[in-house]
Structure 1
Amino acid sequence: MSLFVRLADWQTDRDAIRSIRQKVFVDEQQVPPELEWDELEASAQHFLVYHENKPIGTGRLTDGGKIGRMAILKEARGLGAGLELLRRICKFAALSGQKNVYLNAQVQAIPFYERAGFASAGEEFMEAGIPHMRMERTLNEKEPCANLDDWNR
């Protein structure tokens, strides 16, 4: 089992990113398409996670350290892909100078994010008809890769 996370670009990787998010958020979780796609797509740093050379997950980091749109295909859950993706996004954020990151976690996923070092902050709220909680994490000085060349290790 080999997992690989790479930086992705909205312009060149749009089909893979959209396919994963369509299946997970729109089809599986019934998020209205007009809420799934936003004006931040082009400016966000996207990530793709692969298993056996097939894209199985995606996530993004927007300005201000917000992690979002994390999605792993249903058939690929349980492989550790979500945790590896989150770990790599945090490494990239730290390398980019972020001291803290945050995300809006679906309530059912809070234990997953807690295992990754995130803590709940604030009250539960609804987003796209799904209960969420803001979660935050301070990034460790040892978090970043030495440089971007280390990304493909």
Structure 2
Amino acid sequence: MSLFVRLADWQTDRDAIRGIRQKVFVEEQQVPADLEWDELEESAQHFLIYQSNKAIGTGRLTGGGKIGRMAILKDARGNGAGLELLNRICKFARVSGQKNVYLNAQVHAVPFYQKAGFAVTGEEFMEADIPHVRMDLTLNDQEPSENADDWNR
């Protein structure tokens, strides 16, 4: 089973992105739809992860290095897709010049993000009636062979 992460565009990939987030956040986690979709959709850099040519997950990177809206379809969890997606988003952020990234993690997912090197840096708070904490990661220096333009090939 091979996993593939690619850059996604809100305009052209909206149906895939919305479909995944609708299933994971709105239906599974009961996040109100009006909280799921925001004004950052069009300006964010979105990502899609595929398994066997099927989009199984998504995430986004917004201004200031904030990673968000990480979602993997329920039947695709447990195969490393979430970690692969997160690593690729961090790599993109790094080659794009970000020195740090952060996210608001659901408390139950803290061990997952810690495995990727993130550290809890804030107090617990509620978002969409789900407990969250802020987590930060300092990115390693860019490898000389990497370039943000490589993502567009």
TM-score (norm 2): 0.96
RMSD (Å) for aligned C-alpha atoms? 1.6
Secondary structure at the aligned position of 2:64 is classed as coil
Aligned-partner Cα distance in 1 for 2:54–2:90: 22
Q: CA deviation at 1:150?
A: 3.9
CA 1:41/1:145 → structure 2, altered by over 3 Å: closer, same or farther?
farther
**Greater Cα shift, 112-121 or 136-145:** 136-145
* Equivalent residues of 1:95, 1:145 under 8 A apart: no
The aligned runs of 1:34-53 (5 Å cut-off) are: 34-53=34-53
Secondary structure at the aligned position of 2:18 is classed as helix
Matched AA of 2:120: S
Note the alpha carbon deviations across 1:39-73, whole angstroms, 9 max, x for none: 00000000000000000000000000000000000
Aligned-partner Cα distance in 1 for 2:47–2:68: 11
Report whether the alignment pairs 1:141 with 2:137. Answer: no
The residue number in structure 2 matching 1:71 is 71
Aligned-partner Cα distance in 1 for 2:18–2:74: 15
Report whether the alignment pairs 1:98 with 2:98. Answer: yes
TM-score (norm 1): 0.96
Gaps of 5+ in 1: none
Gaps of 5+ in 2: none
Aligned-partner Cα distance in 1 for 2:97–2:70: 21
CA 1:140/1:125 → structure 2, altered by over 3 Å: closer, same or farther?
same
CA 1:81/1:33 → structure 2, altered by over 3 Å: closer, same or farther?
same
Q: How many residues align?
A: 153
Aligned-partner Cα distance in 1 for 2:111–2:144: 24
Q: CA deviation at 1:151?
A: 3.4
Aligned-partner Cα distance in 1 for 2:44–2:132: 21
The residue number in structure 2 matching 1:121 is 121
Percent identity, aligned pairs only, is 80
Secondary structure at the aligned position of 1:146 is classed as coil
